[in-house]
């Protein structure tokens, strides 16, 4: 059996890792089946010699078709796993939201809508929050409310905003909806930044303590 791992390539996209593997095609199978169908129209299928010949030709047709087909690949996500159930679940949820934000940003950028930069900022902060949690899982309780309400609500608003934008029309209700969501996204951007800052509150305290102790030692040892 061929070692498929040799053809695999690891790709990282939106903070998620994917394995690039060859994409299986049904065309070789259909090529082999076509040989049997065509042969059945012109040859007696009860003759064992004919059947053996058709089998050989059908296998050859399948192999030739597979060889001539352009190489196609597909991305298979490699699940994030640490053994910490809460962390793994939270990282998965944040990563899925991040994909939503990036896809929405791409749509808005393509349409030349300024709100794209707002989503870029929210996505960047979301990615930093996820990375901070991976580095320091003990901060999970700090983002519990963020995960349970702010993140899914933001994802819902972003999807609704993209849906409205794709209507490519202006009306009183559509304009009001867009303006309302744009205002909410501006506040969300600030809230996400504050949430990220909260994750580093303990670090700031620890650093301040370390510096204070260091300065005290320097004074005691006449090094300052």
Residue 5 confidence (pLDDT): 46
Which structural domains are found in the chain, ordered by start?
A: 4-75 (no CATH), 82-211 (1.20.5)
Residue 153 confidence (pLDDT): 92
Decide if pLDDT at 40 tops 90: no
Residue 2's pLDDT band, with cuts at 50, 70 and 90, is: very low
What is the DSSP secondary-structure string of 132-181? HHHH-GGGGGGGHHIIIIIHHHHHHHHHHHHHHHTT----HHHHHHHHHH
Residue 35 confidence (pLDDT): 75
Per residue in 137-184, pLDDT (tens digit) is: 888 888 888 888 889 999 999 999 999 998 878 888 888 999 999 999
Q: What is the pTM for the complete model shown? A: 0.62
Residue 17 confidence (pLDDT): 66
Decide if pLDDT at 70 tops 80: no
Q: Comparing 177 with 58, which gets the higher pLDDT?
A: 177
What is the DSSP secondary-structure string of 47-112? -HHHHHHHHHHHHHHHHHHHHHSPP-EEEEE-----S-HHHHHHHHHHHHHHHHHHHHHHHHHHTT
Task: Flag the least confident range among 26-30, 73-77, 115-119, 149-153.
Answer: 73-77
Residue 38 confidence (pLDDT): 79
Q: Comparing 110 with 68, which gets the higher pLDDT?
A: 110
How far apart are the C-alpha atoms of 80 and 93, rounded to whole Å? 11
Mean pLDDT, residues 49-72: 76
17's enclosing H/E stretch is: strand 16-22
Q: Comparing 215 with 135, which gets the higher pLDDT?
A: 135
Residue 84 confidence (pLDDT): 82
Per residue in 128-139, pLDDT (tens digit) is: 999 888 888 888
Decide if pLDDT at 218 tops 70: no
Tokens of 174: 């559509």
């Amino acid at each position: 059996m061929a070692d498929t791992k040799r053809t695999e390539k690891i790709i990282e996209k939106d903070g998620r890792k994917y394995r690039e593997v060859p994409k299986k095609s049904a065309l070789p199978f259909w090529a082999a089946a076509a040989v049997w169908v065509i042969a059945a129209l012109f040859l007696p299928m009860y003759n064992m010699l004919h059947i053996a010949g058709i089998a050989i030709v059908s296998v050859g047709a399948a192999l030739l078709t597979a060889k001539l087909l352009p190489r196609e690949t597909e991305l298979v996500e490699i699940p994030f796993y640490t053994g910490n159930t809460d962390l793994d679940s939270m990282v998965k949820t944040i990563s899925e939201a991040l994909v939503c934000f990036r896809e929405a940003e791409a749509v808005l950028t393509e349409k030349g809508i300024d709100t794209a930069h707002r989503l870029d900022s929210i996505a960047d902060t979301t990615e930093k929050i996820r990375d901070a949690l991976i580095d320091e899982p003990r901060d999970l309780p700090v983002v519990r409310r963020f995960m349970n309400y702010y993140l899914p609500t933001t994802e819902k608003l972003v999807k609704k905003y993209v849906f409205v934008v794709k209507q490519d029309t202006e009306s009183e209700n559509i304009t009001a909806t867009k303006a309302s969501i744009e205002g909410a996204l501006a506040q969300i951007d600030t809230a996400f930044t504050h949430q990220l800052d909260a994750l580093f509150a303990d670090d700031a305290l620890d650093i301040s303590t370390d510096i204070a102790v260091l300065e005290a030692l320097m004074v005691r040892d006449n090094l300052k």
